[in-house]
Amino acid sequence: MEEKEIYERLNEVFRDVFDDDEIEVSAEMTADDIDDWDSLSHITLVTAVEDEFGIRFKMGEVSGMKNVGEMVRIIKERG
């Protein structure tokens, strides 16, 4: 799977989870970049990403993700 496709699909997931059609994800994006991104929405986001891509993140991966770019790397490795 190409990174471009991953980012396009992630855009839709992020927009749905955070109810914001203006979100454009980038590799450097973190929770600090989205006002509503708290611990509860993080769980919702991770679950939505897992469902979208048909994968399951390991607990260490979830806690170790520092930005969206790391999420994309894991998705790409699994895809």
Residue 5 has pLDDT above 80, yes or no: yes
**CATH number belonging to domain 3-78:** 1.10.1200.10
CA-closest candidate to residue 26, choices 18, 17, 34: 34
Phi first, then psi: what are they for 74, rounded to 5°? -65, -45
Break the chain into its structural domains and give their ranges.
3-78
CA 1 to CA 63: how far, in whole Å?
A: 24
Name the 3-class secondary structure at 79. coil
| Residue 39 tokens, joined | 């611990």
The tens digit of pLDDT for each residue in 9-39 reads: 999 999 999 999 999 999 999 999 999 999 9
Residue 79 has pLDDT above 90, yes or no: no
